[in-house]
Amino acid sequence: MLIDDLKTILSGIGVTQAQFARLIGVTPRAVSLWMVGDRAIPGPVEAYARLLQSLTPAQRQVEIAKLKERRTAMRDGMYGVEFSSTAGQGTCVLVLDNGRAYGADAAGAKYDGDYLYDEARRLAELRLKVTFPPNVKAVFGVSHPYEWSIDVTTNLNPHADSGRVNLATPLGRQINATYKFLRTLPET
């Protein structure tokens, strides 16, 4: 499939790149890379785009309605997080974006990972790798003269505007956190 073919299909059915990304379960960036020719459009994506194009407008609306239902199930966006333990405290901004989680804090630590949304419990199960710069003391009191990282897990209610969570690490140290929903992500 050529780039112009995909652009024509999406334009013809009235679906934005961001909506198409959510429909097929990829990031908006992946669709952007296809649209500028930096990556080849995968065969299954081409097949789904052509299927959408072949549907009647009513059938297409059913697919788009599924997209809207999924969107309300999990509220992606930007969250402010304050965390503390017996050894210190800190703040960070965390972004939940279509299964990915990423952010940074004031001390220079970077957060990268993913989440799964559990429909039954209505919780996002986060798995993060927190990477600390050299000589930065972590909230649980550890510092190293080199870059290092640790895995952190937690469950967050994405429907609440704010809440409390406990962060688990392999070190077994308790880290308490509060979060606040800051904003939704812009459509791309």
DSSP per-residue letters across 92-152:
EEEEEETTEEEEEETTS-EEEEEEEEETTTTEEEEEEEEEEPTTPPPTTS---SS-EEEEE
pTM over 0.75: no
Rounded to a whole number of angstroms, the CA Rg of the chain reads 20
Domain shared by 137 and 85, yes or no: yes
d(CA 106, CA 90): 8
Which residues form the domain of 46?
3-73
Domain shared by 91 and 172, yes or no: yes
In a domain, 188, yes or no: no
Least confident window among 9-13, 24-28, 36-40, 184-188? 184-188
d(CA 165, CA 12): 45
**DSSP helix, strand, coil percent of the chain (3-state; round to 5):** 30, 35, 35
pLDDT, tens only, 28-58: 888 888 989 888 888 888 888 888 888 888 8
Residue of 124, 185, 127, 182 whose CA lies nearest to 158: 124
Domain shared by 102 and 160, yes or no: yes
How many folded domains does the chain comprise? Answer: 2
Domain shared by 151 and 64, yes or no: no
Q: Taking 70 as the threshold, does the pLDDT of residue 172 lie above it?
A: yes
